[in-house]
Amino acid sequence: MDEVKFYVGLDVHKDSIAIAFARAHLRDDPQFVGTTRYSVISLTKALSKLGKPAELSVCHEAGPCGYGLVRALREQGYRCEVVAPSRVARRPADRIKTDRRDALLLARLHRAGELVPVAIPEPADEAIRDLVRAREDAVNDQRRMRQRLKSFLLRHGHAYTGTRWGPKHELFLSKIKFEEPAQHIVFTEYRMAVRFATELVERLTQSLRAHAETWRWLPVVKGLMTLRSIDIISALTIVAELGDLRRFPHPREFMGYLGLVPSEHSSGNSKQRGRLTRTGNRHVRRILVEAAWNYRLPARIGESLQPRLEGQPRHIIDIAWKAQVRLCHRFRRLRSRGLHQNKTCAAIARELCGFIWDIGTRLQPA
Protein backbone atom coordinates (compact mmCIF):
# COMPACT_ATOMS: atom_id res chain seq x y z
CA MET A 1 0.00 0.00 0.00
CA ASP A 2 1.35 3.41 -0.99
CA GLU A 3 2.11 5.92 1.72
CA VAL A 4 -0.26 8.86 2.09
CA LYS A 5 1.28 12.04 0.73
CA PHE A 6 -1.66 14.44 0.94
CA TYR A 7 -4.57 14.83 3.32
CA VAL A 8 -7.54 16.32 1.49
CA GLY A 9 -10.46 18.16 3.05
CA LEU A 10 -13.71 18.61 1.13
CA ASP A 11 -16.48 21.05 1.98
CA VAL A 12 -19.41 19.42 0.23
CA HIS A 13 -22.62 21.17 -0.82
CA LYS A 14 -25.37 20.10 -3.16
CA ASP A 15 -24.00 22.31 -5.97
CA SER A 16 -20.29 22.63 -5.22
CA ILE A 17 -17.28 21.04 -3.51
CA ALA A 18 -14.42 23.11 -2.06
CA ILE A 19 -11.07 21.29 -2.05
CA ALA A 20 -8.00 21.85 0.15
CA PHE A 21 -5.00 19.68 0.98
CA ALA A 22 -2.23 19.39 3.56
CA ARG A 23 1.11 17.73 2.94
CA ALA A 24 1.88 14.68 5.03
CA HIS A 25 4.79 14.68 7.49
CA LEU A 26 5.04 18.47 7.31
CA ARG A 27 3.70 21.28 9.48
CA ASP A 28 3.15 23.86 6.77
CA ASP A 29 -0.27 25.45 6.30
CA PRO A 30 -2.83 23.65 4.14
CA GLN A 31 -3.38 24.94 0.61
CA PHE A 32 -6.64 25.63 -1.15
CA VAL A 33 -7.10 23.96 -4.53
CA GLY A 34 -10.38 25.47 -5.66
CA THR A 35 -14.08 24.79 -5.99
CA THR A 36 -15.69 22.37 -8.42
CA ARG A 37 -19.28 21.42 -9.10
CA TYR A 38 -20.82 18.50 -7.27
CA SER A 39 -19.76 15.72 -9.59
CA VAL A 40 -17.62 12.66 -9.00
CA ILE A 41 -15.98 13.12 -12.40
CA SER A 42 -15.06 16.75 -11.72
CA LEU A 43 -13.84 15.90 -8.22
CA THR A 44 -11.63 12.98 -9.28
CA LYS A 45 -10.19 15.11 -12.08
CA ALA A 46 -9.15 17.73 -9.52
CA LEU A 47 -7.79 15.10 -7.12
CA SER A 48 -5.75 13.45 -9.86
CA LYS A 49 -3.59 16.57 -10.04
CA LEU A 50 -2.44 15.92 -6.45
CA GLY A 51 -1.48 12.29 -6.90
CA LYS A 52 -2.67 8.73 -7.26
CA PRO A 53 -5.77 7.58 -5.33
CA ALA A 54 -3.61 5.49 -2.97
CA GLU A 55 -1.52 8.58 -2.10
CA LEU A 56 -4.51 10.65 -0.94
CA SER A 57 -6.58 10.48 2.22
CA VAL A 58 -9.86 12.33 1.73
CA CYS A 59 -12.50 13.41 4.23
CA HIS A 60 -15.64 15.50 4.35
CA GLU A 61 -18.28 16.28 6.95
CA ALA A 62 -21.51 14.31 7.19
CA GLY A 63 -24.37 16.26 5.70
CA PRO A 64 -27.61 16.11 3.73
CA CYS A 65 -25.88 14.81 0.59
CA GLY A 66 -25.60 11.33 2.08
CA TYR A 67 -22.93 8.73 1.42
CA GLY A 68 -22.99 8.61 -2.37
CA LEU A 69 -19.78 10.62 -2.73
CA VAL A 70 -17.71 8.57 -0.29
CA ARG A 71 -18.88 5.31 -1.85
CA ALA A 72 -17.97 6.52 -5.34
CA LEU A 73 -14.51 7.62 -4.21
CA ARG A 74 -13.85 4.34 -2.43
CA GLU A 75 -14.81 2.41 -5.56
CA GLN A 76 -12.08 4.30 -7.40
CA GLY A 77 -9.45 3.45 -4.80
CA TYR A 78 -9.42 6.57 -2.63
CA ARG A 79 -9.16 6.46 1.15
CA CYS A 80 -12.23 8.47 2.12
CA GLU A 81 -13.90 9.09 5.46
CA VAL A 82 -17.03 10.92 6.55
CA VAL A 83 -16.45 12.80 9.81
CA ALA A 84 -18.86 13.99 12.48
CA PRO A 85 -19.45 17.78 12.18
CA SER A 86 -20.11 18.09 15.91
CA ARG A 87 -16.62 16.76 16.67
CA VAL A 88 -14.75 19.21 14.45
CA ALA A 89 -12.77 21.54 16.71
CA ARG A 90 -13.39 25.21 15.93
CA ARG A 91 -11.80 28.16 17.71
CA PRO A 92 -14.31 30.43 19.48
CA ALA A 93 -12.63 33.51 17.99
CA ASP A 94 -13.33 32.37 14.41
CA ARG A 95 -16.29 34.51 13.34
CA ILE A 96 -15.81 34.10 9.58
CA LYS A 97 -17.08 30.93 7.95
CA THR A 98 -16.58 30.22 4.25
CA ASP A 99 -16.27 27.09 2.13
CA ARG A 100 -12.57 27.81 1.66
CA ARG A 101 -11.91 28.06 5.41
CA ASP A 102 -13.93 24.94 6.13
CA ALA A 103 -11.98 22.90 3.58
CA LEU A 104 -8.65 24.17 4.93
CA LEU A 105 -9.71 23.36 8.48
CA LEU A 106 -10.71 19.81 7.55
CA ALA A 107 -7.41 19.24 5.74
CA ARG A 108 -5.38 20.45 8.73
CA LEU A 109 -7.34 18.44 11.30
CA HIS A 110 -7.33 15.37 9.08
CA ARG A 111 -3.55 15.48 8.91
CA ALA A 112 -3.39 15.84 12.69
CA GLY A 113 -5.71 12.88 13.20
CA GLU A 114 -8.20 14.90 15.24
CA LEU A 115 -11.32 14.05 13.24
CA VAL A 116 -13.84 11.40 14.29
CA PRO A 117 -15.15 9.27 11.40
CA VAL A 118 -18.75 8.08 11.36
CA ALA A 119 -19.87 4.57 10.50
CA ILE A 120 -20.97 4.34 6.87
CA PRO A 121 -23.80 1.83 6.45
CA GLU A 122 -24.10 -0.63 3.62
CA PRO A 123 -26.68 0.35 0.95
CA ALA A 124 -29.08 -2.39 2.10
CA ASP A 125 -28.74 -1.29 5.73
CA GLU A 126 -29.30 2.34 4.76
CA ALA A 127 -32.47 1.32 2.89
CA ILE A 128 -33.89 -0.29 6.04
CA ARG A 129 -32.95 2.80 8.02
CA ASP A 130 -34.76 5.01 5.51
CA LEU A 131 -37.84 2.82 5.86
CA VAL A 132 -37.64 3.04 9.67
CA ARG A 133 -37.40 6.82 9.54
CA ALA A 134 -40.22 7.06 7.00
CA ARG A 135 -42.46 5.16 9.38
CA GLU A 136 -41.42 7.40 12.27
CA ASP A 137 -42.25 10.48 10.19
CA ALA A 138 -45.63 8.96 9.34
CA VAL A 139 -46.33 8.32 13.05
CA ASN A 140 -45.47 11.93 13.86
CA ASP A 141 -47.78 13.15 11.08
CA GLN A 142 -50.54 10.89 12.38
CA ARG A 143 -50.10 12.34 15.87
CA ARG A 144 -50.35 15.89 14.54
CA MET A 145 -53.48 15.09 12.49
CA ARG A 146 -55.17 13.55 15.50
CA GLN A 147 -54.26 16.49 17.69
CA ARG A 148 -55.79 18.91 15.18
CA LEU A 149 -59.02 16.94 15.14
CA LYS A 150 -59.18 16.72 18.95
CA SER A 151 -58.51 20.44 19.32
CA PHE A 152 -61.21 21.29 16.80
CA LEU A 153 -63.78 19.13 18.55
CA LEU A 154 -62.81 20.49 21.97
CA ARG A 155 -63.36 24.07 20.81
CA HIS A 156 -66.90 23.18 19.77
CA GLY A 157 -67.89 21.14 22.81
CA HIS A 158 -67.49 17.63 21.42
CA ALA A 159 -64.85 16.22 23.75
CA TYR A 160 -64.56 12.45 24.09
CA THR A 161 -63.62 10.93 27.46
CA GLY A 162 -63.07 7.28 26.52
CA THR A 163 -60.33 5.50 24.63
CA ARG A 164 -59.80 7.31 21.35
CA TRP A 165 -59.35 5.99 17.80
CA GLY A 166 -61.12 2.69 18.43
CA PRO A 167 -64.51 1.47 17.11
CA LYS A 168 -66.46 3.30 19.83
CA HIS A 169 -64.64 6.53 19.12
CA GLU A 170 -65.32 6.20 15.40
CA LEU A 171 -69.01 5.68 16.16
CA PHE A 172 -68.92 8.83 18.31
CA LEU A 173 -67.34 10.82 15.49
CA SER A 174 -69.89 9.59 12.95
CA LYS A 175 -72.76 11.05 15.01
CA ILE A 176 -71.30 14.57 15.36
CA LYS A 177 -73.14 17.29 13.45
CA PHE A 178 -72.49 21.02 13.03
CA GLU A 179 -74.95 23.75 12.26
CA GLU A 180 -72.57 25.61 9.96
CA PRO A 181 -71.67 23.84 6.69
CA ALA A 182 -68.16 25.31 6.78
CA GLN A 183 -67.45 23.67 10.14
CA HIS A 184 -68.69 20.33 8.86
CA ILE A 185 -66.27 20.59 5.94
CA VAL A 186 -63.38 21.24 8.34
CA PHE A 187 -64.45 18.28 10.49
CA THR A 188 -64.67 15.96 7.48
CA GLU A 189 -61.27 17.04 6.13
CA TYR A 190 -59.65 16.46 9.52
CA ARG A 191 -61.20 12.98 9.76
CA MET A 192 -59.97 12.09 6.28
CA ALA A 193 -56.48 13.35 7.11
CA VAL A 194 -56.41 11.13 10.22
CA ARG A 195 -57.57 8.12 8.21
CA PHE A 196 -55.00 8.65 5.45
CA ALA A 197 -52.21 9.10 8.02
CA THR A 198 -53.26 5.90 9.81
CA GLU A 199 -53.30 3.94 6.56
CA LEU A 200 -49.81 5.22 5.72
CA VAL A 201 -48.47 4.07 9.08
CA GLU A 202 -50.00 0.62 8.55
CA ARG A 203 -48.52 0.29 5.05
CA LEU A 204 -45.06 1.31 6.17
CA THR A 205 -45.23 -1.02 9.17
CA GLN A 206 -46.15 -3.96 6.95
CA SER A 207 -43.35 -3.10 4.51
CA LEU A 208 -40.85 -2.83 7.35
CA ARG A 209 -41.81 -6.23 8.74
CA ALA A 210 -41.61 -7.82 5.29
CA HIS A 211 -38.16 -6.41 4.47
CA ALA A 212 -36.85 -7.32 7.91
CA GLU A 213 -37.39 -11.03 7.20
CA THR A 214 -34.59 -11.01 4.61
CA TRP A 215 -32.30 -8.51 6.33
CA ARG A 216 -28.86 -9.72 7.36
CA TRP A 217 -29.21 -8.18 10.83
CA LEU A 218 -32.39 -10.15 11.62
CA PRO A 219 -30.63 -12.40 14.21
CA VAL A 220 -29.55 -9.32 16.16
CA VAL A 221 -33.06 -7.85 15.89
CA LYS A 222 -34.62 -11.02 17.29
CA GLY A 223 -32.01 -11.10 20.03
CA LEU A 224 -32.88 -7.58 21.16
CA MET A 225 -36.57 -8.50 21.13
CA THR A 226 -35.94 -10.78 24.12
CA LEU A 227 -35.64 -7.65 26.22
CA ARG A 228 -38.73 -6.32 27.91
CA SER A 229 -40.45 -3.42 26.07
CA ILE A 230 -38.31 -3.92 22.93
CA ASP A 231 -40.70 -5.08 20.20
CA ILE A 232 -39.85 -5.58 16.53
CA ILE A 233 -40.22 -1.90 15.60
CA SER A 234 -38.00 -0.78 18.47
CA ALA A 235 -35.40 -3.47 17.72
CA LEU A 236 -35.37 -2.58 14.02
CA THR A 237 -34.92 1.08 14.88
CA ILE A 238 -31.97 0.35 17.19
CA VAL A 239 -30.15 -1.91 14.74
CA ALA A 240 -30.90 0.17 11.64
CA GLU A 241 -29.70 3.38 13.29
CA LEU A 242 -26.62 1.98 15.05
CA GLY A 243 -25.49 -0.85 12.81
CA ASP A 244 -22.77 -3.09 14.23
CA LEU A 245 -22.60 -2.58 18.00
CA ARG A 246 -19.15 -4.18 18.07
CA ARG A 247 -17.70 -0.84 16.99
CA PHE A 248 -18.22 0.30 20.58
CA PRO A 249 -15.41 -1.27 22.65
CA HIS A 250 -17.21 -0.68 25.95
CA PRO A 251 -20.84 -0.02 26.94
CA ARG A 252 -19.82 3.30 28.53
CA GLU A 253 -18.91 4.58 25.07
CA PHE A 254 -22.25 3.33 23.79
CA MET A 255 -24.09 5.22 26.53
CA GLY A 256 -22.10 8.37 25.80
CA TYR A 257 -22.76 8.06 22.08
CA LEU A 258 -26.52 8.08 22.71
CA GLY A 259 -26.28 11.11 25.00
CA LEU A 260 -27.61 9.30 28.06
CA VAL A 261 -24.77 10.41 30.35
CA PRO A 262 -24.84 13.61 32.44
CA SER A 263 -22.91 16.65 31.30
CA GLU A 264 -20.05 17.77 33.53
CA HIS A 265 -18.17 21.00 34.17
CA SER A 266 -15.35 20.34 36.62
CA SER A 267 -12.28 22.35 37.46
CA GLY A 268 -9.90 21.65 40.33
CA ASN A 269 -11.84 20.64 43.42
CA SER A 270 -15.11 21.86 41.93
CA LYS A 271 -17.31 19.21 40.28
CA GLN A 272 -20.60 20.07 38.72
CA ARG A 273 -22.84 17.73 36.74
CA GLY A 274 -25.82 18.85 34.74
CA ARG A 275 -28.52 17.52 32.47
CA LEU A 276 -28.03 14.74 29.94
CA THR A 277 -25.75 15.57 27.03
CA ARG A 278 -28.39 14.32 24.55
CA THR A 279 -25.83 13.92 21.80
CA GLY A 280 -25.74 11.23 19.16
CA ASN A 281 -28.71 9.43 17.67
CA ARG A 282 -31.96 10.90 18.93
CA HIS A 283 -34.11 8.15 17.36
CA VAL A 284 -32.56 5.40 19.49
CA ARG A 285 -32.46 7.62 22.58
CA ARG A 286 -36.22 8.17 22.30
CA ILE A 287 -36.84 4.43 21.93
CA LEU A 288 -34.80 3.62 25.04
CA VAL A 289 -36.35 6.29 27.23
CA GLU A 290 -39.84 5.13 26.25
CA ALA A 291 -38.85 1.51 26.88
CA ALA A 292 -37.47 2.36 30.32
CA TRP A 293 -40.93 3.36 31.55
CA ASN A 294 -42.11 -0.28 31.26
CA TYR A 295 -39.67 -1.38 33.96
CA ARG A 296 -41.77 0.31 36.63
CA LEU A 297 -43.77 -2.95 36.86
CA PRO A 298 -42.57 -6.17 38.53
CA ALA A 299 -40.32 -8.48 36.54
CA ARG A 300 -42.28 -11.16 34.68
CA ILE A 301 -42.55 -12.88 31.31
CA GLY A 302 -45.91 -11.92 29.90
CA GLU A 303 -47.93 -13.11 26.93
CA SER A 304 -46.31 -10.65 24.53
CA LEU A 305 -42.74 -11.48 25.61
CA GLN A 306 -43.00 -15.28 25.69
CA PRO A 307 -43.23 -15.76 21.87
CA ARG A 308 -40.18 -13.53 21.38
CA LEU A 309 -38.07 -15.83 23.57
CA GLU A 310 -38.77 -18.94 21.52
CA GLY A 311 -35.86 -20.13 19.41
CA GLN A 312 -33.32 -17.80 21.02
CA PRO A 313 -30.02 -19.03 22.53
CA ARG A 314 -30.00 -19.72 26.25
CA HIS A 315 -27.30 -17.13 27.02
CA ILE A 316 -29.33 -14.40 25.27
CA ILE A 317 -32.44 -15.27 27.29
CA ASP A 318 -30.37 -15.21 30.47
CA ILE A 319 -29.10 -11.72 29.66
CA ALA A 320 -32.62 -10.48 28.96
CA TRP A 321 -33.97 -11.91 32.23
CA LYS A 322 -31.05 -10.51 34.19
CA ALA A 323 -31.75 -7.10 32.64
CA GLN A 324 -35.42 -7.27 33.57
CA VAL A 325 -34.78 -8.27 37.20
CA ARG A 326 -32.11 -5.62 37.70
CA LEU A 327 -33.89 -2.75 35.96
CA CYS A 328 -37.28 -3.39 37.58
CA HIS A 329 -35.64 -3.43 41.02
CA ARG A 330 -33.60 -0.32 40.26
CA PHE A 331 -36.65 1.56 39.00
CA ARG A 332 -38.53 0.93 42.24
CA ARG A 333 -35.46 1.77 44.31
CA LEU A 334 -34.87 5.11 42.58
CA ARG A 335 -38.53 6.07 42.86
CA SER A 336 -38.58 5.16 46.56
CA ARG A 337 -35.70 7.62 47.07
CA GLY A 338 -37.91 10.38 45.69
CA LEU A 339 -36.13 10.73 42.35
CA HIS A 340 -38.27 12.33 39.65
CA GLN A 341 -39.76 9.84 37.21
CA ASN A 342 -38.09 11.48 34.22
CA LYS A 343 -34.66 11.17 35.81
CA THR A 344 -35.50 7.61 36.78
CA CYS A 345 -36.37 6.71 33.18
CA ALA A 346 -33.12 8.29 31.98
CA ALA A 347 -31.13 6.23 34.49
CA ILE A 348 -32.92 3.02 33.49
CA ALA A 349 -32.42 3.80 29.80
CA ARG A 350 -28.71 4.28 30.42
CA GLU A 351 -28.40 0.87 32.07
CA LEU A 352 -30.55 -0.70 29.37
CA CYS A 353 -27.87 0.41 26.89
CA GLY A 354 -25.42 -1.93 28.59
CA PHE A 355 -27.65 -4.98 28.11
CA ILE A 356 -28.39 -4.02 24.49
CA TRP A 357 -24.65 -3.73 23.88
CA ASP A 358 -24.07 -7.13 25.47
CA ILE A 359 -26.65 -8.85 23.26
CA GLY A 360 -25.64 -6.95 20.12
CA THR A 361 -21.98 -7.88 20.46
CA ARG A 362 -22.70 -11.58 21.01
CA LEU A 363 -24.84 -12.10 17.91
CA GLN A 364 -23.56 -12.03 14.33
CA PRO A 365 -25.38 -10.93 11.16
CA ALA A 366 -26.62 -13.69 8.88
Strand-pairing partners, residue 267, are: 270
Q: Residue 1: pLDDT above 50?
A: no
| pTM for the full predicted model | 0.92
Pick the CATH number of 6-112 from 3.30.1050.10, 3.40.50.20, 3.30.420.40, 3.40.1360.10: 3.30.420.40
Q: What is the pLDDT of residues 4-59, one digit of tens each?
A: 999 999 999 999 999 999 999 888 999 999 999 999 999 999 999 999 999 999 99
In this prediction, residue 269 carries a pLDDT of 85
Report helix, strand and coil shares of the chain as percent, to nearest 5: 55, 10, 35
What's the confidence (pLDDT) of residue 284? Answer: 97
Strand, helix or coil at 364? coil
Please state the rounded mean pLDDT for residues 319-338.
97
- Rounded Cα–Cα distance for residues 38 and 43 (Å): 8
Average pLDDT of every residue of the chain: 95
User: What value does the mean pLDDT take over residues 280-285?
Assistant: 94
Task: Specify burial of residue 100 (Cβ count, 10 A radius: 0-12, 13-18, 19+).
Answer: middle
Evaluate whether 207 touches 131 at the Cβ level (below 8 Å).
yes
